[in-house]
A and B are shown apart, each in its own frame.
Chain A
Amino acid sequence: MKPPAFEYLAATSLEQAVAALADDEAKVLAGGQSLVPMLNFRLLAPSILVDITRIPGLDFVEGDGDGGLRIGALTRHYTLETSALVQTDFPVLSAAMNHVAHLAIRNRGTIGGSLCHGDPAAELPGLALLLNAQLKTTQRTIAATDFFASALSTILAEDEILTEITLPALPPRTGWGFEEFARRSGDFALAAVGATVSLSGEEVSEARIVVIGAHDTPLRLSAAEALLTSRSGIAAAAKAAQDQVSPSDDLHGSADYRRHLVGVLTRRALTAAWQRAEGSAP
């Protein structure tokens, strides 16, 4: 279908955009790769779309000088996918970007837009959680763990705009794994698991596991993370991951199948992360 009629503002500053969002029925338009399909389906009928893509200074990927990364909210997926900085410092993010939709969507879609859309089956919200991202808005800084309220819903206020994502440096000797299962390349995940394992001597100093597509938000699996004290703990952690999620049934897969997938993907992601942390895999 065609979208319903709306007013359109190409904002040139954040102040102008925030002021326009005072209208209750206003929506922010960034890359539009999730919003425009919803408009075409007439699932939404905003009074005004506030296009923020012409606001300067929000499209960048930079090191923070401390091994971390600063990403402007209007950075396109393709920029992140091909960023040498990301490939070097956050290879798990590069790996996940390869699963994001298709080139034409990645050319257009923005990092901030994906986070604010908050699709629980999308890669970026999950990666924000895995990498302990801090999300800077026009009002405050929010930890990724607090950001996602439920499916397609965040704690952002109506007139609040995400401007920057910061990823703190990963600890030394951190390995990573990212495993996704989708019916078709580029489709939303039936389930995906991202993991990092950080070693200190022979000990695990930190393990992180995030599951995507098997809950109403991306989910950090703290119970499973705590079980990973040695390599032999991978099986137990995978089992705990499977028990901790509550996926839904739909025509693409049953809840039981998705739960099973989470277990298998967790085991694979942790195994890969462990091997990389030990330096036995690239």
Chain B
Amino acid sequence: MIRVTVNGVTSEHEVEARLLLADFLRHSLGLTGTHVGCEQGVCGACTVLLNGDSVRACLCFAVQADGGEIETVESLGTVDDLHPLQKAFQEHHALQCGFCTPGMLMTGIDLLRKYPLATDAEIREGLSGNLCRCTGYEHLVQAIRSAVEARNES
């Protein structure tokens, strides 16, 4: 039995030890915003926050999250009330097919909290663990840069 708080809601679940956190979120909780791409930690699509830190939900078992707090892309904003980073993605056209977007957003949140991101090179370095098959990287960098500027002004 594990007890987790996901996007502010605490619940208890019986899970098999081998259940990946990504599958727990999607299948047990129905939170399909977290996408599953490579299942080997390379693509970054399944990135969520565990106790405030970005993690690959495909490289973590649900049992390891016992007692923890998880934030998924669903915690950010709604269609009518976008999170500032989602707004930046929208304004800079930082998504095309949208598959990598949840991982990009959750990675972006952690990068913005932890690093100065003073240069585009730093932003690129920070995003280098997330793959966009549409290759829309330039717009992603622009979106993060505008979020960095907003962060630095506030």
The residue among B16, B23, B61 with the most chain A CB atoms within 10 A of its own CB is B61
| Bound complex: CA A99 to CA B125 (Å) | 10
- Interface residue tally of chain A, by bracket? 20 to 34
**Which residue of A3, A8, A105 is within 8 Å of B41 (Cβ)?**
A105
Contact assessment for B53 and A6 in the assembled complex, using a CB-CB cutoff below 8 Å: no
A2 and B55: CB pair below 8 A? no
The one of B18, B54, B61 that contacts A104, using a Cβ cutoff of 8 Å: B54
- Note all chain B residues with C-beta closer than 8 A to A186: 125, 128-129
CB-CB under 8 A from A1, the residues of chain B are 39
- Asked if B66 and A10 sit within 8 Å, CB to CB, the answer is yes
Q: A140 interface residue, CB < 8 Å from B?
A: no
Complex Cα distance A105/B17, Å?
Answer: 21
Confirm or deny: A53 has a beta carbon within 8 angstroms of a beta carbon on chain B.
Answer: yes
Query: Would you call A36 and B53 a contact (CB within 8 A)?
Result: no
A36 contacts B18, CB within 8 Å? no
A102 at the interface (CB under 8 A from B): yes
Q: Which residues of A contact B47 (CB under 8 A)?
A: 104
Bound Cα distance A104, B129 (Å): 8
Q: Is B143 an interface residue (CB 8 A)?
A: no
Main SS of the interface on chain B?
A: mixed
A57, B131: Cα distance in complex, Å: 36
Range of interface residues on B (Cβ < 8 Å): 20 to 34
CA distance A107 to B58 in the complex (A): 14
The winner among A1, A29, A107, A184 for most chain B CB atoms within 10 A is A107
Residues B59 and A32 in contact, CB atoms below 8 Å apart: yes
Asked whether, in the complex, the Cβ of A108 is within 8 Å of the Cβ of B53, the reply is: yes
A residues touching B (Cβ–Cβ < 8 Å)?
1-8, 10, 29, 32-33, 36-37, 39-41, 49, 51, 53, 78, 101-105, 107-108, 184-186
By a beta-carbon cutoff of 8 Å, the part of chain B in contact with chain A is 16-18, 20, 23, 39-41, 44, 47, 50, 53-56, 58-61, 63-64, 66, 107, 110-111, 114, 124-126, 128-130
Q: Closest 7 CB pairs between A and B?
A: A102-B129, A8-B17, A107-B53, A185-B128, A36-B59, A104-B54, A37-B40
Starting from the known contacts A40-B58, A103-B111, 20 additional A-B residue pairs (CB-CB under 8 Å) come to A2-B23, A4-B18, A5-B18, A10-B66, A33-B56, A36-B61, A37-B41, A37-B59, A39-B18, A41-B40, A51-B64, A102-B128, A102-B129, A104-B56, A104-B110, A107-B55, A108-B50, A108-B55, A185-B125, A186-B129
Could you list some 6 contacts between A and B, CB below 8 A?
Answer: A1-B39, A2-B23, A3-B20, A7-B17, A103-B107, A185-B128
